[in-house]
Amino acid sequence: MATKLYNVGLNVDENLTFGVFRDENIPTPGDDELLIETLYSGANPADIKHSTHLGIYPTRLGYDFFGKVIKAPSGSAFHVGDSVAGYTPTGIGRPAKYGTHQSYLVCPEKMAFVVPENLPPDHAACLKVVAMTAADALYNLFKLPLPGKSTQGLPGNITGKPLLIWGASTSVGICAIQLAKASGVFPILVSASSERHALLSELGATYCFDYKSPSVIEDIKAVLKNWDFDGVPYAFDTVGSPSGVGSAQMVASCASDDAILVSVVVQKDRRFLMPLAVTDEDVTLRIPGVPHRITIPARKEDHQRALNALQWAVNNYGSQFRLVSVDVFKGRAEDALVELKILADKGRGFGKLAIMHPLQ
């Protein structure tokens, strides 16, 4: 007699109430989708904030994962037993099967990859959202050359033009520094707390500034003057103060008049562009202050470019690219939900969190 599978995970209901479920309802994959036993799921602020800020509910929570394939379509490039990682789709109407904070999940084949031995499972579970967000900013919004590619003859060649990454010790910032270095960007200016400066220099930062310093903007501008720039032409706010002040305001104060500005959240200052981890499908959201739903159209070529950067990061993981800190949570589902809420409300400050499955 076959053993019944049991599913434990985290969800949000139609009343925007977050909770825990325990049942025997195992997700059913569609065509070109994989059924995966979750071993680790990666925690992101978006796990909560996409429901509270962008109207994505009801659904099951989570986007990032690492696990084992237990069912694959006929003719698939994946096989039962493969160790895979990836992320899952987003947007209003997101099916519960795509939630990664549950014992079993479904992932479209195109959004998963086989995990090589050089990439630890808990790190693999936390990688794709932050790496693809950083890659979208660098290679699609700033139009940098991909890692390892020659910059000769490329439109928008920025060799010799500085890049500013504000909040570079965030997980997106950590990814952005390493990708930028691999793409030959120089100089790379970063802001972070002073205790992170040695690490950021090791990862590729050319100049580090203490964001708490009252003279930080003047200090950045003084370095830019040495390179004959009145302001930075490419600036990436990886903190994302949503009110339009704080990190975004500081970034804008360092920028040239024609700079390309990017922030990880929607800003009131419309000069800022927002990178996305998922760009190969249309995404429908409810943006605060907008009376109707909006649909962000797919950017399929951009998605492929970011995916190429991700593949470089996976291939070079542990040598030229890494997540510098990953903590692992193991325990009750209710306590895992508390961890997600803390992450969304206050952030972790540094490093990533992987949740081990099955949850109790």
Residue-wise pLDDT for 115-125, tens only, equals 999 999 999 99
pLDDT confidence of residue 266? 80
Residue 40: phi and psi, rounded to 5, are -140, 145
Average pLDDT over residues 333-354: 92
pLDDT, residue 241, reads: 74
Tokens 């994505």 map to which residue?
56
The upper half-sphere exposure of residue 251, i.e. CA atoms within 13 Å in the direction of its Cβ, equals 33
Angular region, 184: left φ>0, alpha ψ -120 to 50, beta rest: left
Q: What are phi and psi for residue 86, nearest 5 degrees?
A: 160, -160
Numbers of helices and strands, H then E, in the chain: 9, 18
Give me the phi and psi of 85, to 5 degrees please.
Answer: -140, 170
Q: Contact, 196 vs 172, CB < 8 A?
A: no
Mean pLDDT of the region 28-49: 97
**pLDDT above 50 (res 217):** yes
Q: Does domain 130-296 have CATH number 3.40.50.720?
A: yes
Question: Which secondary-structure segment (H or E) carries 248?
Answer: helix 247-254
Q: Which of 261, 189, 173 is nearest to 224 (CA)?
A: 189
With a pLDDT cut of 90, the percent of the chain lying above it is: 87
- 315 DSSP 8-state letter: H
Q: Do domains 7-127+323-356 and 130-296 have the same CATH topology?
A: no
- pLDDT value at position 194? 96
Which pLDDT score is estimated for 268? 82
Q: What is the pLDDT of residue 152?
A: 46
Given this model, what pLDDT does residue 5 score? 80
Q: Is the pLDDT of residue 153 over 50?
A: no
Instruction: Read off the pLDDT of residues 21-33 as tens digits, 9 standing for 90 and up.
Output: 999 999 999 999 9
Q: Is the pLDDT of residue 3 over 90?
A: no
> Rounded CA gap, 112 and 78, in Å?
9
Residue showing tokens 């795509």: 98
Q: What digits encode the pLDDT tens for the residues 175-205?
A: 999 999 999 999 999 999 999 999 999 999 9
Residue 29's nearest CA partner among 113, 88, 101 is 88
| Residues paired with 261 in a beta bridge | 235, 272
Q: What is the mean pLDDT of residues 74-96?
A: 97
The predicted structure's pLDDT at residue 270? 87
Which spans in 99-208 are helix H?
121-124, 128-135, 171-182, 197-203
- Write the DSSP symbol of residue 258: E
CA neighbor of 282 nearest in space, from 58, 135, 90, 108: 90
Please name the helix (run of DSSP H) or strand (run of DSSP E) that holds residue 209, with its range, or none. Answer: strand 207-210
pLDDT of residue 149: 63
> What confidence tens digit (pLDDT) does each residue in 49-58 have?
999 999 999 9
Task: Output the pLDDT for position 308.
Answer: 97
**Domain boundaries of the chain, sorted by first residue:** 7-127+323-356, 130-296
pTM score of the predicted model: 0.94
Res 72 pLDDT > 80: yes
Could you tell me the fold of the domain covering 7-127+323-356?
A: Quinone Oxidoreductase; Chain A, domain 1 (3.90.180)
What average pLDDT does the structure give for the chain?
A: 93
**Nearest residue to 220 (alpha-carbon basis) of 272, 165, 262, 271:** 165
Q: How far apart are CA 314 and CA 208, in angstroms?
A: 26
pLDDT reported for residue 155: 43
Amino acid 202 reads: E
Is 59 in contact with 135 (CB distance < 8 Å)? no
Classify 283 as helix, strand or coil: strand
pLDDT of residue 157: 44
